[in-house]
A and B are shown apart, each in its own frame.
Chain A
Amino acid sequence: NAGVTQTPKFRVLKTGQSMTLLCAQDMNHEYMYWYRQDPGMGLRLIHYSVGEGTTAKGEVPDGYNVSRLKKQNFLLGLESAAPSQTSVYFCASSYWGTGGRNTEAFFGQGTRLTVV
């Protein structure tokens, strides 16, 4: 059971370039999330999805787009990368526990992105 897999693990971009980060989960979870982690800032939610075909903005959505065409995949896109987007990006998925409550989030290993 692979859990949550992020691709790629490392990437260096030049300012203005675009790229897509892929998150795949094999646990049949409904909810998926993209976070960024910066020193001293904890994890900040970029976008999330409550199910296939749906997405919503989180705390820091500007400069990012997402898509959830398949339940198991959640893609994060940077259309025109900026140095301020240098960060470690984490994908997570979660499930509805007994009584309809989410009871745990599972995280990928992270993608370290540097924009120069």
Chain B
Amino acid sequence: AQSVTQLDSQVPVFEEAPVELRCNYSSSVSVYLFWYVQYPNQGLQLLLKYLSGSTLVESINGFEAEFNKSQTSFHLRKPSVHISDTAEYFCAVMATGGSYIPTFGRGTSLIVHP
């Protein structure tokens, strides 16, 4: 079975500051990794995913995440945040074989202040 730990329940930052949202996972097999974002009053939507190949993956709105196998981490970063990035961010893990159902973390609330 897989598990996900999001170390911070809430991360407040000022606009244009850099941010890192931390995610660690546990698995005995190789995994796919995902970040989903949930804006207020909306469902979750895929932000980015790591399947294989380059360990650095990027989203269209400036977020990036790096798969670190030795540290079993998949931290999400953005060099300069906007007010519109205020949302709940969920890290998820899925085994590459076996169960097709992802395991989600508890979520991190990113709050961007003007």
Co-complex (A, B): no
Which residues of B are in contact with A by a Cβ distance under 8 Å? none
A residues neighboring B (CB under 8 Å) = none
